[in-house]
Amino acid sequence: MPIEQLLSFVFSFWIGLAVLIVILVKSSVKFVPQNRAFVVERFGKYNKTMVAGLNVLVPFIDKVTYDQSLKEHAYDVPSQAAITKDNISLVVDGVLYLKLLDPYKASYGVDNYVYAVSQLAQTTMRSEIGKIDLDKTFEERESLNTNIVNAINTASEPWGIQVMRYEIKDIEPPRTILDAMERQMKAEREKRATILESEGHRQSAINVAEGAKEAQVLAAEADKAEQILRAEGEAKAIIAVADAQAKALDTVGQVANTDEGQKAIQLNLADKAIDAKHAIAKDSTVVLLPDSNSGAASVVAEAMTIIKTLNAEKTSA
**Cα 37 to Cα 89, 91, 164, distances in angstroms:** 43, 38, 20
- Separation CA 58–CA 64 (nearest Å): 11
Span 181-202, average pLDDT:
84
Residue 298 CA, distance from chain mean position = 103
Give me the count of residues in the chain: 317
Q: Are 93 and 77 in contact (CB under 8 A)?
A: yes
Predicted structure pTM score: 0.51
Output the average pLDDT for the chain.
Answer: 79
- Which of 1, 168, 142 has the alpha carbon at shortest distance from 76? 168
- pLDDT, tens digit, 9 for 90 and up, residues 236-284: 888 888 888 778 767 766 766 676 766 666 666 666 666 666 666 565 5
Q: Could you give the angle at which helices 175-256 and 259-283 cross, rounded to 10 degrees? A: 120
Q: Higher pLDDT residue, 246 or 317? A: 246
pLDDT, residue 304, reads 60
Span 307-317, average pLDDT:
57
- Separation CA 277–CA 271 (nearest Å): 10
